[in-house]
Structure 1
Amino acid sequence: MNSEQISRIAHVDHPIKSPLDDDSVRQLLDRGISRADARVLDLGCGGGEWLLRALSTGPRVRAEGVDISEEALAQAREAASSRNLQERLVLHQRSAADFTSPHPFDLVLSVGAAHAFGGLLPTLAAARKHLAPGGRVLVGDGFWEKEPSREAVEMLGDFADLATTLDRVAADGWTPVHGHVSTRRELDDYEWACWGSLASWALDHRDHPDSSEALVTAATRRSEWLRVYRDTWGFVCLVLRRTSD
């Protein structure tokens, strides 16, 4: 199974694809969408769940998503149609780093996709190009809650602690106007949902040629979470405005 197939199955019961519960997502969007006719962009939208929830906040909100995955965008279109939101959603299959638009956006999203840009600050640089004056960015990324092991750094990446992360964001010209640090429950619920969904799929499709691989992958990822990074890694979402527009 390729990584996209694994991700699709793993996130069946947690479509937001980040360690956030529904109330946290709602509050972040409420703080990020500052006008009734907001135009929203998601850089690395995947299956489009953030955009669909943004569109659900008001009938005049419009949204666009960018992703390289044809399968993920097809999933987003199907989900938008099932919720009668397709007329206000535009999807683009291309690299988020190369995306251009003739108009700016009131909210630019990129949650859990910083790896695609090479880190948090490059993600903010990409978002800045699309931001309308007075607009906001909603970004989500990891940080180290405690000193990580070498294995954890090699597995997840070279994050900073929360205070240093905020210092770097401020030095880059951004002011946080809202934030949310995922709780232990949100972090644990996310991991249980992902690897439980993948394991359930394997057990429900025992005759599938990928069943054994999926079951091993679920067990391996669950063990990595519990033994390598559960006690050290955290996730923060920030709603940001440019300090100087």
Structure 2
Amino acid sequence: MPDTPPPPRLPRLTFHGPLSEARAVRLVERLGRHRPATVLDIGCGWGELMLRVLGAVPGATGTGLDINAEDLARGRENARTRGLAGRVEFIAESAAGTARGPADLVLCTGAGHALTGDVEPSGATAAALRALRRLVAPGGRVLFGEGYWERPPTDGELAAMWPGAAADDHHDLAGLVGAALGAGFRPEWIETANADEWEEFESGYRAGTETWLAAHPEHPLAAATRERVDRQRTSWLTGYRGVLGMAYLTLVPAG
């Protein structure tokens, strides 16, 4: 039993978010249309979308920032197998206050918190958008993937979500777009994840761990892992399912 490896990290996910293959293809086509020479991926994880943009835009180079060493290693290996290793860096560092820009294309999908440090949740979205406005080159694009409330959450739903969840943690969709306008962007494209994308992400997020738990119920790590996964699943099913949405905003810096 001690020689049994721990549960794998997210092996069933292609993207670290509710993003389908079909939507990813459309995003890469739209973002690549402007032939960005430089791509900056904030909170990149393994940088799947960045690698796809680099594959679609010959000569473009990319920089991914994240603090998870395992995800970064996965990104480097994926870059190597796709022949992109010489055109991308995966860097283990915080994005808060980063001076890595400006870039022609900035990706920040589900990682606005990586830019905001200790900013309170109620002001985090605006702070992240201001940081992104500073990091994008004139005439470039930002892809901002951010949560929003599809409807106001009830007190019971908030209590079932993440610790300290509050109604002002997110805008509604109109408020999110308004925050982008206030930060100096114009929204070129507004789209939102659908229910199938959310279910694929939520199930995929836990699938590798669930099958590991089924096979290794007596492992020393099993009890803590089971508690964590059960808590995550319950948070989704009784808290934010159908309440929290994900918007993908393609933003153009104004002026």
- TM-score class, shorter: 0.7 to 0.9
Classify the secondary structure of the residue corresponding to 2:189: strand
- The separation in 1 between residues aligned to 2:176 and 2:227, in whole angstroms, is 34
Aligned with 2:109 (options 103, 108, 111): 111
Find the counterpart in structure 2 of residue 225 from structure 1. Answer: 236
SS of the counterpart of 2:151? coil
Instruction: Choose which of 110, 118, 125 in structure 1 pairs with 2:130.
Output: 125
Question: Does the 8 A contact of 2:12 with 2:207 survive in 1?
Answer: no
Q: Which residue of 2 aligns with 1:32?
A: 31
Match of 1:214 in 2: 225
Q: Distance in 2 between the 1:153 and 1:30 partners?
A: 37
Return closer, same or farther for 1:206/1:97 CA change in 2, 3 Å cut-off.
Answer: same
Aligned-partner residue type, residue 217 of structure 1: R
Counterpart check, 1:63 vs 2:62 = yes
CA distance in 1, matches of 2:128, 2:31: 17
Q: Map 1:78-93; keep pairs closer than 5 Å.
A: 78-93=77-92
Q: Is the CA contact (8 Å cut-off) linking 2:31 and 2:53 kept in structure 1?
A: no
CA contact (8 A) 1:143 1:160 kept: yes
Which residue number corresponds to residue 193 of structure 1? Answer: 204
Flag the 1:174–1:37 CA change in 2: closer, same or farther, 3 A.
closer
Contact 2:32 2:57 in 1 (8 A): no
Choose which of 178, 186, 195 in structure 1 pairs with 2:189. 178
Contact 1:199 1:214 survives alignment (8 Å): no
What is the CA deviation profile of residues 107-131 of structure 1, one whole-angstrom value per residue up to 9, with x for unaligned ones? 0011001122242222222222221
Shift of 1:45: 0.9
Q: What aligned pairs does 1:4-19 form with structure 2 within 5 A after superposition?
A: 9=9, 11-19=10-18
- Following superposition, the deviation at residue 151 of structure 1 comes to 4.8
2:102 aligned with 1:97: no
CA drift of 1:65 comes to 0.7
The equivalent of 1:44 in structure 2 is 43
- The alignment of Structure 1 onto Structure 2 pairs a total of residues equal to 237
Kindly provide the amino acid, as one letter, of the partner of residue 49 in structure 2.
Answer: W
Contact 2:36–2:140, Cα closer than 8 Å, also in 1: no
Moved over 6 A (4+): none
Q: With the length of structure 2 as denominator, give the TM-score of the two structures.
A: 0.84
* Contact 2:133–2:185 (8 Å) recurs in 1: no
1:143-182, aligned counterparts within 5 Å? 143-153=148-158, 155=162, 156=165, 158-182=169-193
Partner of 2:251: 240
Aligned-residue offset at 1:207 = 4.9
